[in-house]
Structure 1
Amino acid sequence: MKRFGSVRLWVSLASAGFLLASLLSNGRQMAQLSLDLQGWFWLLLGLGISLLSLMVNGLAWGVVLRWLGHRPQWLAVMLLFLSSNLRKYLPGGIWHLHQRLRALQRQSHPLSGPQALLAVLLDPVLMAVAALSLVPWGGWQGGLALLCLLPLVLLLPRLLNPLMERLERSKAQQLLEGGGVSAAPGSLQLAGYPWQPLLAELAFVLLRFAGFACCVQAFELAFHLGWGAWMAGFALAWTAGLVVPAAPGGLGVFETVLVLRLAGTVPEAPLLALALSYRVVVSLADLVAAASARADLARLRNSRYC
């Protein structure tokens, strides 16, 4: 477990080092880039779509809860998801999960520790699988397309159940360290293939890509690649940022994988500018969504006492 954690840390440090070196070597070319009014409009549109994607992400988590046999209160679930999402930028990459786990165990109809832990951890697993399923849109890619489809097989119950048990054991201790939760892994068995939550997560990832596509348009880079190739590069980089939680919010990992994957066909300086602009767009979206959700939660609490 400690060895795995150290590997994630070294991956994050290596990604940050590569990104810094790329910025230093391409700084002069990046300084010469500028956006016209239409480019700023595309970035603003990307911000709006990214905000919409976060709401869909919260609703997708509600679909996960319903598929697991619970009865989610949709507004409450989405507000909890959005208000906790900003915590993914904290070191460790588990504090947004910790807040959701604690909330599920403290609601009016609380879930048991194993139920809540499964509900919280299944969500990012389905996100990653949904994102990887988009990589084949970029073509065969030397067999990478087939490799990225294999996780769809892992969602079969006979494979998903042992996978989730291992994930629960590996994350339970980390979540317990935050206090206020019961994160003991259980022996809950998933009975069927999670088609509904998987499609919901796929809708989220597609909206996430739409926000990224707006940034591509802002820098007028679309002609370098077909949209299938852009989608494949984005999906691979986004998944890498998701599964390396030692990097807060995937910071550095997403940008590094995107540049390594696409630098051969897209000029590196504008590609770096694209990656950094998208980081600013999604971070602003996270901030606005979290602030709005917390304000809505405060209003809901106050209305109950009026």
Structure 2
Amino acid sequence: MKIEKGRWYFGFICPHCGANIYSLDDPTQGGTKGPVAIGEAKFSVPCRSCETDEILFGTHELVPLQAHEDLLGSPALPRRKPSGKARQKLSNRYPKAKATFGIRFIEDQPECAVIFARCVVKWSYVENETALLLAKILKINTEPALAMFLAMQSSRVQIDVLTAAARTALSADDFKLFQAIMNIRRTMEGARNHLVHGLIGGSTVVKDGVLWTDQKDYVRHTATVWGTDYAQMHTKYLEEVFVYEADDLETIAQDLEWLHRFIGNLWGYLDSSDVVWRAERYHQLCTEPRVQAELQRMARVGQQS
């Protein structure tokens, strides 16, 4: 992130060169004094001043720091505001657009390509957090157990195994919370899979997005075009073409970021033996808006059945 002179952050003091390492925003802007973290976690943080790539800090070393100078942030593109929408039919969104598909169209929209890549990369991290969740549920923090879980190629099989373990090991309340997050995971996985397993195209009319179609629809259309001497190149097929605008792609990318973070929060909660803290944390996890909505949906379904 960009560091602004005079603003407050949470961070560390480099033991090699003594420079401030600004790591997190301080929402109190200097209102918090003393250590701001507890527990036995470790922070792995690089120092950009002396370019020491990895320094381990304890939680007691995370302190408020006021920036003495402006520092450039990451070269990453700024995040867009998510649209909160899924893909849209091209014929509805851009009635005059003509769809064309090919392997290089993704390169014509470099910002969309970056967001697309984030969606691909983040799912591997979600799977990793899911494996760690299994380890915490079964209390088997062993390499063979995690490797066996990740070796399961089918996501459905992974979740079936994880659910069977959770049903046996968790309390009724914890299992209900677990089910809610797995339901959310399934929905987000579906959105991600639709995106990455389709074909990407473009149109001169669509300036800030990419076209998408299902592989089966594309093959069927190609066969039809060949059989009609190309008379139906851009007609009926448009009903099977969708558009992902950049803000729609950002929705998927940030949903996956949230999912990765929440699964980590869940296994962190399950790993604690502090009864008082767990009670407070359980309430926090259940009242997260997405989780709360899913718990309410599950309750309605349960009443109907």
**When the two structures are superposed, what TM-score results if normalisation uses the length of structure 2?**
0.25
**When the two structures are superposed, what TM-score results if normalisation uses the length of structure 1?**
0.25
Q: 1 or 2 for the larger relative contact order (CA 8 Å, sep ≥6)?
A: 1
Find the structure with the greater CA-based Rg: 2
More strand by percentage: 2
More helix by percentage: 1
